[in-house]
C-alpha cells in the first residue's frame, strides 16, 4: 500500500497519492460522482468508458466487491480516484477487496488525495482530460512531466464514438431477472414473457435488462451497429435503446436505424445515450456539458405532474431543449441546472429518459418508466 501514484490534469493540476490498483499509466476524461454507495456498479458501468471516475464520498471499499454487483463483464472506467481506501472490508457478501479487484482487471486507482479540491476544480472548470501514473511509472524526476503530457495527449470525448467499442459482438437472448436477497437473480426465462423486445447494446447496464425481463419482456440484445431491417425482421413488440459512453453525434449507424423505426408504430424506449440518439434521430441537437451529471442524488421534475424525483445520473452530453422540433416535447428537466432529462414524440409511441432509472443501487423513483414501455406494447397489441 505504499506504491506511489500521480494524477495530473490538463490544466496543470497535479495530485500525489497512493496506488491502489494496477501499476502503469492510463488517461481519460476526469469526472466526479457524488453517489455514496455503488462503487462496484459505477466501475462496471460501460457508460464510464474512457473516463477516470472521482468518488466524492471519502471512504470507498468498505464493503469489498462480489460477483453479483456488476453491470457488465468487466470494469469499464479508465481509472478510479478516491480519498481513502479502508484496510478492512465489512460485508457478508464481500468476496474480494476493492484493491485486489482493480489489480485483477489491470485498472489503475489512486487514493490519499484531496478529492474535495479535485471536485472543486472539476466543478468550476468542467471535466478535465487527465492521466494516472501508478507504481514504477510514478517514480523518477520526470514523472510529473510524463503525467501532464499523457493528460494533455488525451483527445477528449467530444467526437468519440464509443458505443460500438463497448457493445456486444453478436445478438443474444437475455433471461436474467431482478435480484433478491438470499435468492440471487431471478430466472426470467421460466416466467411468461409475452413481449418481444429488441434491445440495442450501446453499453447496456445489466440491471436495465433485468428490469425489462422481470416485466414480461423476452429480450434479444443486438450489437450497436445492427441495421434496422435486421431488427424489424425479428418482429419486435418494442425496441429499447440502451445507455452508453461517448458522444452520440458520431453514432450515425444508430441514428439511421432509429429514423427507420420512427417510420413504424413500434414502441421505442431510450435511456441515457439512447435518449440522446432518439433526440438526434428526431431532428434535435446534443451538446457537451461542462462537468456532466454523475451521482445518485439528482432531482428531476416531471413537467406534466410537477412531481420531483431523485434520480441516478451518468452522462456528459445532453439533448438541447432549445433545438426540439415540433414532433418532440420535453417531459422531464433537471432541477440542478435545468437541462433536459426526458422527451417523447408527439406523433409516435416513442419516449426516453436521460438518467438511469434502474439505479441499482440507488433511487427507484423513475422505475415506472419501464411499466410505461410495457403498457405501450400492450396497447399496440
Q: Is 137 a catalytic residue?
A: no
- Cell numbers given for 167: 457493445
Pairing between β-strand 286-302 and β-strand 328-334 as defined by DSSP bridges: antiparallel
- 177, 219 in Cβ contact below 8 A? no
Q: Is residue 239 within 8 Å of 345, Cβ to Cβ? A: no
Question: Which regions in the chain score pLDDT beneath 50?
Answer: none
CA dist., res. 37 & res. 43, Å (int): 12
For the beta sheet containing 340-345, the strands, ordered from the edge strand earlier in sequence to the opposite edge, are 172-174, 217-223, 195-201, 238-241, 268-271, 350-353, 340-345, 328-334, 286-302, 308-319
Q: Does the annotation count 10 as an active-site position? A: no
Q: Tens digits of per-residue pLDDT, 157-200?
A: 999 999 999 999 999 999 999 999 889 999 988 788 999 999 99
The catalytic residue among 217, 272, 275, 344 is 272
Whose grid coordinates read 439528482? Answer: 298
Which of 349, 352, 343 shows the shortest CA–CA distance to 370? 352
- Single pTM value for the model: 0.97
Is residue 272 within 8 A of residue 242, CB to CB? The reply is yes
Residue 1: its pLDDT value, please?
60
Instruction: Please say if 356 is a catalytic residue.
Output: yes
Q: Where are the alpha helices (DSSP H) in the chain?
A: 39-43, 98-104, 115-125, 143-153, 163-166, 206-213, 228-232, 252-261, 273-281, 368-380
Which residues share a beta bridge with 334? 300
Grid cell in block for residue 169: 459482438
- Residue 190: its pLDDT value, please? 78
Instruction: Report whether the peptide linkage leading into residue 181 is cis, meaning its omega lies within 30 degrees of zero.
Output: no
301's enclosing H/E stretch is strand 286-302
Amino acid at each position: 500500500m505504499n506504491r506511489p501514484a500521480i494524477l495530473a490534469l490538463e490544466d496543470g493540476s497535479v495530485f500525489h497519492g497512493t496506488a491502489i490498483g494496477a501499476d502503469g499509466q492510463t488517461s481519460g476524461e476526469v469526472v466526479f460522482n457524488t453517489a455514496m454507495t455503488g462503487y462496484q456498479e459505477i466501475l462496471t458501468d460501460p457508460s464510464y468508458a474512457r473516463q477516470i471516475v472521482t468518488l466524492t464520498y471519502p471512504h470507498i471499499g468498505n464493503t469489498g466487491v462480489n460477483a453479483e454487483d456488476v453491470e457488465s463483464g468487466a470494469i469499464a472506467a479508465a481509472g478510479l480516484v478516491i480519498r481513502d481506501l479502508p484496510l478492512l472490508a465489512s460485508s457478508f457478501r464481500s468476496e474480494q477487496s476493492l484493491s485486489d479487484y482493480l489489480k485483477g482487471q489491470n485498472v489503475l486507482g489512486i487514493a490519499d488525495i484531496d478529492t474535495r479540491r479535485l471536485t472543486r476544480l472539476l466543478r468550476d472548470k468542467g471535466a478535465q482530460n487527465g492521466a494516472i501514473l501508478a507504481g514504477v511509472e510514478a517514480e523518477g524526476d520526470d514523472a510529473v512531466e510524463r503525467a501532464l503530457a499523457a493528460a494533455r495527449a488525451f483527445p477528449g470525448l467530444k467526437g468519440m464514438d464509443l458505443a460500438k467499442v463497448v457493445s456486444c459482438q453478436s445478438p443474444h437472448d437475455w433471461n436474467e431477472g431482478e435480484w433478491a436477497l438470499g435468492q440471487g437473480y431471478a430466472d426470467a426465462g421460466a416466467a411468461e414473457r409475452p413481449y418481444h423486445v429488441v434491445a440495442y447494446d450501446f453499453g447496456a447496464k445489466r440491471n436495465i435488462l433485468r428490469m425489462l425481463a422481470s416485466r414480461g419482456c423476452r429480450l434479444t440484445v443486438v450489437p450497436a451497429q445492427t441495421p434496422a431491417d435486421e431488427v424489424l425482421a425479428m418482429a419486435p413488440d418494442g425496441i429499447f435503446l440502451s445507455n452508453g459512453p461517448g458522444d452520440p453525434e458520431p453514432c450515425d449507424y444508430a441514428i439511421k436505424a432509429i429514423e427507420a423505426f420512427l417510420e413504424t408504430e413500434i414502441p421505442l424506449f431510450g435511456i441515457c445515450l439512447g435518449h440522446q440518439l432518439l433526440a438526434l434521430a428526431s431532428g434535435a441537437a446534443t451538446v457537451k456539458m461542462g462537468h456532466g451529471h454523475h451521482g445518485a442524488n439528482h432531482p428531476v421534475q416531471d413537467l406534466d405532474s410537477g412531481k420531483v424525483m431523485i434520480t441516478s445520473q451518468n452522462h456528459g452530453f445532453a439533448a438541447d431543449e432549445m433545438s426540439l422540433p415540433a414532433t418532440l416535447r420535453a417531459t422531464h428537466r433537471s432541477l440542478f441546472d435545468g437541462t433536459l432529462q426526458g422527451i417523447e414524440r408527439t406523433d409516435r409511441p416513442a419516449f426516453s429518459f436521460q438518467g438511469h432509472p434502474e439505479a441499482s443501487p440507488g433511487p427507484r423513483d423513475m422505475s415506472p418508466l419501464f411499466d410505461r414501455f410495457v403498457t405501450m406494447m400492450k396497447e399496440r397489441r
